[in-house]
Each structure stands twice: as structure tokens, then as C-alpha cells.
Amino acid sequence: MTTEITSRYAVGPNEAKGFDTNQLRKEFLAENLMQDNKITWLYTHYERFMVGGAVPKAKQLSLETVDALKSKSFLGGREIGIFNVGQAGTVTADGETYHLGYKDSLYLGKETENVVFASEDSNAPARFYLNSAPAHKKHPNQLVTAADANVLKMGSLETSNERDINQMLINTVVKTCQLQMGLTSLKPGSVWNTMPAHQHDRRNEVYFYFELPEDQVVCHFMGEPQETRHIWVKNEQAVVSPPWSIHSGAGTQNYSFIWGMAGENLDYDDMDKFKPSDLR
């Protein structure tokens, strides 16, 4: 079988206060999402959000249902967002083929039945990063290339957080049920993301870090604003951020990350911000 899945239950803030480094990483870090010739999933109990990766190197990969979904097809009651962080590839959905270059994205709606991931060159495979959330309605499938993104230019070099926020699979660009995704790239010389830090209590978020050389890392900050914790993250690893947690990070160099959210509110600005001087 080419699909692997693990599951994690939700953790509350009082529990997390007692976690040591290993337990914190075990509960919130996804270390091995991108595996050659496999689709790998992490099923979380935050909004039933799923985080995954698909690397069709030597063969095509079909999106298979898993026992946890109790559904005949993976997208029987779900929607999915797909980002390509590798070389050129294709996603074929119910007979229609979409070509995804580097940093292109694709939304597939509920009840899309047959989905196949492929690389255009097996020696230079596509690397598809996946987010999925429950869906109550079928919306049209839509390709959103990097050129189609709504770009917000934020921060400054003086505060080490000059960055482009590429809004791509969000409700102002694509019609979705609850899934929202985008891609943020930091400029050379900048290392801080999502500052000021914030929470959004009505939805979870997952950060997938990439464009990090092997010898570089990001320190991801999480926890309550007055009780912060940190996790060191390598290239192509993701951190699950529960609704009670902040999510911010600083790298040993500039990098990019894909953010994905699901919950009861599609308003991008639905957040409670905290000044850097307020954090503890």
C-alpha cells in the first residue's frame, strides 16, 4: 500500500505546560511527510484537519481513502489543498489534468473521486504538500498558480521580517468550505515570520517549512502568549498549531512556509495579536 497514516488527539494548554522537549515534538511536529513513492498523512483532531505529502518519484500515486475516514473515497466528505514544492508535476482529478509548477497550488472539492499524482520527470519528482478538512458542500476544482496569488507585502528589513504573503487557496481567491491556505516567503536578511504573534481561537493552523538548506533550521514558537514553548524544525517539516497557541518562528536564514487553516471562520484577519513585548 502506498498510503501511510498516523493519528494524534487534541492537546489542551494545561497538558502542554508539563511537556518536555520530546513530548512536545511528539504531539505537534510532523517530521517525515515527504517520502518517495508514498502518500503520508497525519490525521489530527483539531478540526479533523489532515496534513500530508505525496512524492510520485518512480510511479504515480492515487489518493486512497483510509479507515479513519469511514468513506468510500477520500474526498467523499472532504476538500483538499495541494501545493507543489518540488519539480513539475501533474494532478489528475476525475479525468482532468492540472499541471503544477514550483509553488503552484490546486483546490479539489468534495466528491472528487479519482485523484492521481504524477511527476513529469521521475529523476526530478514533484513534491506535493497536502492539507485536507471536512467539507459540507461541493465547490469547483481550481488551479491557482504562483502568479495568480494575492500578494501582501509585510514587515521590513529593520525588524527582520520583510516577507511576501501569497494568499492562494483562500475565500477571496477560491471558493472553499473551510480550508484556507497560502505561502509566505521571507526576503534575504529577514528571519521572523508572523510577528506580531497571534492566536485565532476559532480555527487551527499548520505551518510547513521549506526552502531551508540541510544545515539550517527554524525555531517555531508556540504555546499561550504568557507561556511560550519552542520546537526546532528542519526543511519540509510541519508544526500543528492548536487554536490556543501562538504560531511564530525565526530561522537561521530566510525561508518559506505554507500555512493551512480550518475552522468556523473564513475571515483572514480573525486573530488576536500580541505585541512582542507582551510575550513571555
The pLDDT value given to residue 1: 65
What would the mean pLDDT of 73-79 be, rounded to a whole number? 97
Give CA–CA dist 97/82, Å, rounded.
14
Residue 187 predicted with pLDDT over 90: yes
Number of domains in the chain: 1
Identify the three-state secondary structure at position 206: strand
Distances (CA, A) of 256 to 108, 161, 186, 187, 202: 23, 12, 6, 9, 25
Q: What is the pLDDT of residue 266?
A: 74
Q: Are 173 and 181 in contact (CB under 8 A)?
A: no
Does residue 102 register a pLDDT over 70?
yes
Give the mean pLDDT of the chain. 95
pLDDT, average across residues 210-239:
97
% of the chain residues with pLDDT over 70: 99
Using 50, 70 and 90 to split pLDDT, how confident is the model at 199? Answer: confident
- pLDDT per residue over 39-50, tens digit each? 999 999 999 999
Q: How far apart are CA 2 and CA 100, in angstroms?
A: 22
Share of the chain above pLDDT 90, in %: 89
Phi-psi region at 226: left, alpha or beta (left = phi > 0; alpha = psi -120 to 50) = alpha
Residue-range definition of the domain harbouring residue 162: 3-278
Confidence of residue 194 (pLDDT cuts 50, 70, 90): confident
Q: Is the pLDDT of residue 272 over 80?
A: no
pLDDT, tens digit (0-9, with 9 covering 90-100), for 105-151 = 999 999 999 999 999 999 999 999 999 999 999 999 999 999 999 99
**Is 34 a residue whose pLDDT tops 70?**
yes
233-245 pLDDT tens trace: 999 999 999 999 9
pLDDT of residue 136: 96
Q: How confident is the model at residue 174 (pLDDT cuts 50, 70, 90)?
A: very high
Number of neighbours of residue 219 by Cβ within 10 angstroms: 14
At 13, list the grid cell. Answer: 494548554
pTM: 0.96
Q: What is the pLDDT of residue 73?
A: 96
Secondary structure (3-state) at 167 = strand
Q: What is the CATH number of the domain that holds 177?
A: 2.60.120.10
